[in-house]
Structure 1
Amino acid sequence: MSIGNSPEDERPFHDVSEEDRPSVGRALQQARIAAGLTVDDVSSATRVRIAIVHAIEADDFAPCGGDVYARGHIRTLARAVHLDPGPLLAQFDAAHGGRPAPTPAAPLFEAERIRPERRGPNWTAAMVAAIVAVIGFVGFTAFKGGDSGSDGKSQVAGGGASPSAGKTPSPTPTQDKPAPPKSDPSDSAIAAAPQDKVTVQVSADNGRSWISAKDHNGRMLFDGLLNKGESKTFQDSSKINLILGDAGAIQLYVNGKKIHDDFRPGAVERLTYTKGDPEVG
């Protein structure tokens, strides 16, 4: 009988240190492969661009555009590959100086403003001023015409000839009313959305949020702050790209149908809708 360690005691002890734990990108990649999903599958399910998915799996978060965007993408990708996003976000925060402090939506995206929203002319005030001018002119003309008629009758009763008795009174000149302003096609009723186009209505039902909308050519349709109770409607022949600064405050209607996504307050969402959305199923 020998005295010493048993074979089990002689096996090397493996300590899973912090360095041995897979990185955030590596963990997402392994979970995606284990789920039998391709990068295209994850991109289609999350609407995160393929290039960004590849970059995150390589632990390159620069294409995300900042830590706030990166955290949102990590949370979205983790859910798509059936991972708990909490540990991954904690690992990301530890590697990038901690969780960023909450920032109001408007200052956060102030640097991304491309151009201010253009305000159209105040057609209502112009129309009211024109109507008031027409009414005043007609009233003044009628008053002067009434005085001239009284003078003519007095001259006829006295035997004098009325100089204007055989003349037809000239018509009263009137000012043309300005044509009412044409409504923007993007403000048309969401229920009447044409089937050959994609129509997206964004409503700030639960608070204010910064939003950005582009058409299929990348042309900016709107870039600004949407206050609570306000809404915007966008329309394009094939595709609308959206960025929501505070998705939890927004309600979406796509092609006449309400979108029932559970967006969290303060979450940043990048969305793309086409003529076939929302899918029937």
Structure 2
Amino acid sequence: MRKNLPQFEQERAEKLSEIGGYLRQSREGRSLSLEEISAKTMIPVRTLRAIEGGDLKQLPEPVYVHGFIRRFADSLGLKGVDVAGEFPTTMAMTRSHRRFPWLGLRLTQPRPMHLYLLYIAVIVVAVNGLSRLIEDSAPATVNTANLYEEPLPVEKSGPVPDQVQQPSSAKAPSRPNGTDKVAPPRPASKPVASQPERSQRSVEVSLTFKEQSWVRIVTDGRMAFEGMMQEGAQRSWSADEQVVVRAGNAGGVLVALNGGEAKALGAPGDVEEVTFELNNPSAALPPTVLGSVTTTASVIRD
């Protein structure tokens, strides 16, 4: 045992010299002085200098040196536990650490500045791409809502001309019994008369927004629109039987029925709901829709 002691001390000194050189190189690479390291670690400057120089004679017991190396490495941003683990405090440690693993320790050194700039550029590009993706997807949802709402009046206006044209085609054969010259003008006059009938057989509600307001539109029991409308916007909805309008700021919404006079839906800031129905031939549109939470208006049908 005594014969191996000098060899053990020599190996310990070699390890300390390697560790000290590595710590000195890391410290100088960060432009730090021993005084600054001493202020961070509370280790005397002479002890730090002895560690970097591999001078065991100027250092205390190996157990304390092990702790000093760990704190020294931590102050440089290194893994102090790994660095201090390379310093043998017992003879058994020298058997398993013949070479200092420089490769693993050098991986913890600071990376060049250009790598950090590259990381920042990648982050900026990713954020810009995400923001553009969100902006592009926002108007797409509005367009799909408009496409869903617009076909409603087109589908409902289609059957009406068919009903008008069928009587005209049925009446056309009855005209040859009279004069042939009288037949052409009358079919030409009937499509003109069919246009007011078409407007009177549906409910069309037009909204003009003097102020910003939330609004919900239900046509014939189906949700047609729900959302926030900005000041100055104008929208129209039509239905066969019923249109229900509910607004969060009734005073900022003007409503017109079938192209009639526009009137305020209610008082400013009030939540109002108005139902326009086509089910009572004897009823007429009230002069105003103010003063009630739920109001029912009917359109005159010939």
Q: Normalised by the size of structure 1, how large is the TM-score? A: 0.31
Return the index of the structure with the highest Cα Rg: 2
Higher helix share: 2
